[in-house]
Structure 1
């Protein structure tokens, strides 16, 4: 049986490969510690779980949900954006709930691009930006995010012909995988560049609430002209420790939202109503857990940075996200260092080049491991160098 060309060109998903490595090491009897995927180990806050349990008992919630999300969820998302970012959103036209933001990141290509169109993709970047393009038959042009630019794109380096061909451009700040934050004028520059070249901006913002040291992350939609040129994806996964619940959303340009909604009505049947109602509870209820998670992640960030600096690695403290972007020691590549740590310390870290060629020379450490296991992992890394 022959399969599609897109399958043959689709690389294995990074975190599925990490899972395989973990299982292989465990089969050898090793005590493996994963600092790979950003999956919070702390539980979802109790009041959100209780709301799910309550609503799951209601048989009305067992039927098909709305394709476009419950009106009260869309309103809660709009209210959150007004409170948090002072952004006004029409909940009926500018808000669309998603089955986790990942599916929206992949499906947006089907709404905005034809086969053979071009997308501008940050390098390094979240793998779905590239795999979504591959599935849709979209050409990928990489925008290098370099250390000397504090991992922000330099739009002046993008070839004018490529810029004119591009239909879509990805941004992600606070950034995965680098932990970088947007420079002061990044979004204004992006909007001017997009207007000049008629490009839709897709801003991926799932780490907006995980910030440290007094930093407050903005929304792309706060900036003048943003809503004319693009959309913003966000998620409840990292903010409320709800990765397994699969609930996110996209907000912004009404025409783009409508187009993505049209795709989704043909490929999925929406989010379980009980999960949507729990999502409303997350957005509208107590936010104490969010502040508590900031403290937990800051403590872990400080532990990672301090330990790695002690062994001579030039690590910078990220002001946001749940990741530390670590330069590898001299004499190693990203892959050889990740392999060395796995073989000698039974610690799993993703090599930076797995996120794109400009990630070469780095590894990414996730802060979503219990303190004692993180401490043990750092001890092992220190001992194997």
Structure 2
């Protein structure tokens, strides 16, 4: 009865962990959850005021149908101010969150049997979207010795020749790695050489640490000829529930998305569009606050864990920590389960992000320092780090 492609989709690891957490809490356990990357910091008062005013206008409850010119202009303005990238109006489209955008773009570009190059480890939707479109996936290992950057030379030539789409994402989820302009130049050159379309997910471009500054893939000459970039306001402004994101770049790819979306949705809720316009064209105080919050949290957590014997490298960007599991464990899933049941701390096993994620867990920086200090004490008390 159910489509074959659905048989290959198991319950999302985040849902499974949440169900286990709820069962433990029902049994009286106190749990500290670092699994889902949902910002715990509320939006600023300015954002909530803007949204309240916009939702107070009855005209804003009509179908949006398409993006307002005001929103398109705001995205173009922000990309020019932030990245010095010039966009035309037909190179921009909103997304109801970048998560759904991965599936929609795959449906636009991929025929059953086409090869899509995907990083491993990677956020699950990077593979699920192409899978639902019938793609054949070729994994590109992100290895520690390469600073978790894609090694283009390691991709077999016959695979590169046959590939239709490549998915790239820096700052990276889950590894917290970042990429520099030289990497993006190599990416554009590789895509042009083999006539591969590129989807670059740039959701964490404002969350780079240690003085680094996030860049756009589209700032590289020729990038718009081969690719498209997703960007999101969810994490940067702590508004994930508003599902406010956009795709920019290659006109043909944007046009295909517009055609598909005209059949399957009625556009972004108008109050969300109005809030997005204000955020993209106004002061960026919220961005600095969120950036500093995650950088400080990462430093606090890693220092505290180091003091109890768990040595983890500082993240270079994103809102995640990519933590090697203790040496006496061989399974990230087993460590995750023990951490949950013995210490009351929830993280995500690296294996759930792909085979190359084995040996790690992902920790989302979504708890305040008080909660992190408590988690550190519970981990130490559990003895789970001891050999």
Pick the TM interval, shorter chain: over 0.9
Superposed counterparts of 1:151-162, under 5 Å: 151-162=148-159
Q: Deviations over 1:51-95 (max 9, x none)?
A: 11111121221111033x1110111011000000000001x2111
Q: Tell me what 1:337 maps to.
A: 335
Secondary structure in structure 2 of the residue aligned to 1:185: helix
1: CA distance, partners of 2:286 / 2:255? 33
> What is the Cα deviation at residue 115 of structure 1?
1.0
Q: Tell me what 2:97 maps to.
A: 100
Is the CA contact 2:107–2:130 (under 8 Å) kept in the aligned structure 1?
Answer: no
Alignment partner of 1:140 is 2:137: yes
TM-score, length basis structure 1: 0.97
> What is the Cα deviation at residue 242 of structure 1?
0.5
Secondary structure in structure 2 of the residue aligned to 1:218: coil
Q: Tell me what 1:367 maps to.
A: 365
The one of 276, 291, 306 aligned to 1:294: 291
Q: Deviations over 1:125-150 (max 9, x none)?
A: 01001111221111111000000000
> What is the Cα deviation at residue 184 of structure 1?
4.5
TM-score, length basis structure 2: 0.96
Q: Deviations over 1:2-32 (max 9, x none)?
A: 2110110112222222222221222222111
1: CA distance, partners of 2:56 / 2:245? 23
Superposed counterparts of 1:269-308, under 5 Å: 269-308=266-305
Secondary structure in structure 1 of the residue aligned to 2:333: helix
Alignment partner of 1:253 is 2:250: yes
Q: Deviations over 1:357-383 (max 9, x none)?
A: 000000011111122112211221222
The one of 177, 194, 197 aligned to 2:194: 197
2: CA distance, partners of 1:337 / 1:310? 19
2: CA distance, partners of 1:151 / 1:379? 31
Stretches (4+) displaced over 3 A: 311-314
Secondary structure in structure 1 of the residue aligned to 2:198: strand
Q: Tell me what 2:227 maps to.
A: 230
2: CA distance, partners of 1:168 / 1:12? 26
Q: Tell me what 1:51 maps to.
A: 50
Tell me the number of residue pairs that the alignment of Structure 1 and Structure 2 aligns: 382
The one of 353, 356, 361 aligned to 2:354: 356
Is the CA contact 2:60–2:271 (under 8 Å) kept in the aligned structure 1?
Answer: yes
Which has the higher mean CA deviation after the structures are superposed, 123-132 or 366-375? 366-375
1: CA distance, partners of 2:37 / 2:12? 14
2: CA distance, partners of 1:147 / 1:224? 29
Secondary structure in structure 2 of the residue aligned to 1:141: strand
- Point out where structure 2 has 5 or more consecutive residues left out of the alignment: none
> What is the Cα deviation at residue 197 of structure 1?
1.1
- Point out where structure 1 has 5 or more consecutive residues left out of the alignment: none
